[in-house]
């Protein structure tokens, strides 16, 4: 019985981590949509990571970990911070301001499709069957159909198309960062590396916001700060830490299952909290895209429990 205790504890931790990623990242799209109407998108991206990074760094220091990074770790952490916390989240914040939360989450849900392509290109042969290639192609066709009908039906103005394309670029940046993160080994503890990624990316975001006049255009109300703190603590600190933990405990395909849960959470919360609604054609597009994502990650998803049992404590 005692031999099974570590395995049970590991399983509980992984399940809790999945729940945090599903719930907090799904609701984060609604918080981004709300806060970006009050605060410049660069500050929405940057302040959340500065708050989260400082809190996480303080935690690991109190735990007794050293905060210094070696030269190799610093280079890798800087690259990942700029890719995942500047490129991705800057584009996400700008897109989240222009588009409804549910549609934003749906476009970001293409991350597993990009991961499949990247993993195939680097030789991991993630996409090996006609079924999987069909799912990847169908997913991207579903996105194209969704955007076409959204513009054709006048549900959104044509001027938001750059924001939609920017969200796809954000998904690509996060997918690339996730693949790189899963392949890299660091000398420093995981939480130390995560803290510095957040601080580096967040600092660059804030500097960009200040350079483009974001201070003058922002409304620093209590509601704005409340949404930013929620994004920092729940969407960033808890969410990304759980995501990083899962990348080191289960397969990347298993982690990617959040991509077809989060949009549903965002759609429901966007409807409840912001009064957002999807048209029939948008629901069709959502089903096509999320169905394709589910197929792409279906094999790793069936192996989730094997991954949990095989991973270390």
Q: By the 8 A CB rule, do 251 and 303 touch?
A: yes
Q: How far is CA 159 from CA 67, 74, 165, 184, in A?
A: 45, 39, 11, 39
pTM confidence score: 0.79
* pLDDT at 224 exceeding the cut of 70: yes
Q: How far apart are CA 195 and CA 77, in angstroms?
A: 9
* pLDDT tier at 306, thresholds 50, 70, 90: very low
Span 277-296, pLDDT tens digits: 777 766 777 787 777 777 76
User: Residue 312: its pLDDT value, please?
Assistant: 37
Looking up tokens 């806060």, which residue turns up?
35
* pLDDT tier at 249, thresholds 50, 70, 90: confident
* pLDDT tier at 4, thresholds 50, 70, 90: low
User: Residue 197: its pLDDT value, please?
Assistant: 92
* Residues 6 or more apart in contact with residue 273 via CB below 8 angstroms: 30, 34
Task: Tokens for 242, please give them.
Answer: 């759980």
Q: How far apart are CA 27 and CA 75, in angstroms?
A: 32
Q: How far apart are CA 243 and CA 257, in angstroms?
A: 11
Task: Tokens for 47, please give them.
Answer: 């302040």
* pLDDT at 88 exceeding the cut of 60: yes
User: Residue 89: its pLDDT value, please?
Assistant: 92
Looking up tokens 């995560």, which residue turns up?
194
User: Residue 302: its pLDDT value, please?
Assistant: 42
* pLDDT at 209 exceeding the cut of 90: yes
């Amino acid at each position: 019985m005692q031999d099974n205790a570590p395995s049970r504890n590991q399983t509980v931790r992984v399940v809790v981590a999945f729940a945090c990623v599903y719930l907090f990242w799904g609701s984060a799209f609604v918080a981004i949509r709300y806060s970006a109407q009050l605060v410049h998108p660069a500050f929405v991206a940057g302040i959340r990571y500065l708050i989260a990074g400082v809190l996480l760094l303080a935690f690991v220091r109190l735990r007794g970990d050293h905060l210094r990074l070696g030269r190799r770790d610093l280079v890798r952490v800087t690259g990942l911070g700029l890719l995942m916390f500047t490129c991705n989240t800057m584009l996400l914040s700008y897109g989240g301001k222009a588009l409804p939360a549910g549609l934003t989450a749906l476009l970001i849900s293409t991350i597993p499709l990009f991961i499949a392509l990247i993993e195939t290109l680097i030789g991991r042969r993630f996409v090996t069957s006609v079924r999987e290639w069909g799912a990847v192609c169908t997913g991207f066709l579903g996105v194209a159909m969704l955007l076409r009908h959204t513009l054709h039906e006048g549900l959104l103005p044509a001027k938001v198309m750059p924001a939609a394309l920017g969200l796809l670029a954000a998904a690509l940046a996060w997918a690339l960062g996730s693949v790189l993160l899963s392949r890299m080994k660091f000398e420093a503890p995981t939480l130390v590396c995560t803290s510095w990624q957040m601080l580096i990316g967040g600092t660059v975001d804030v500097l960009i916001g200040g350079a483009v006049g974001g201070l003058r255009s922002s409304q620093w109300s209590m509601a704005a700060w409340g949404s930013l703190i929620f994004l920092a603590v729940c969407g960033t600190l808890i969410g990304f830490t759980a995501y990083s933990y899962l990348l080191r405990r289960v397969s990347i395909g298993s982690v990617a299952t959040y991509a077809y849960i989060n949009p549903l959470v965002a759609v429901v919360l966007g409807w409840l909290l912001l009064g957002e609604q999807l048209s029939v054609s948008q629901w069709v597009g959502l089903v096509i895209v999320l169905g394709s994502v589910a197929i792409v990650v279906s094999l790793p998803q069936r192996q989730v429990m094997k991954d949990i049992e095989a991973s270390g404590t």
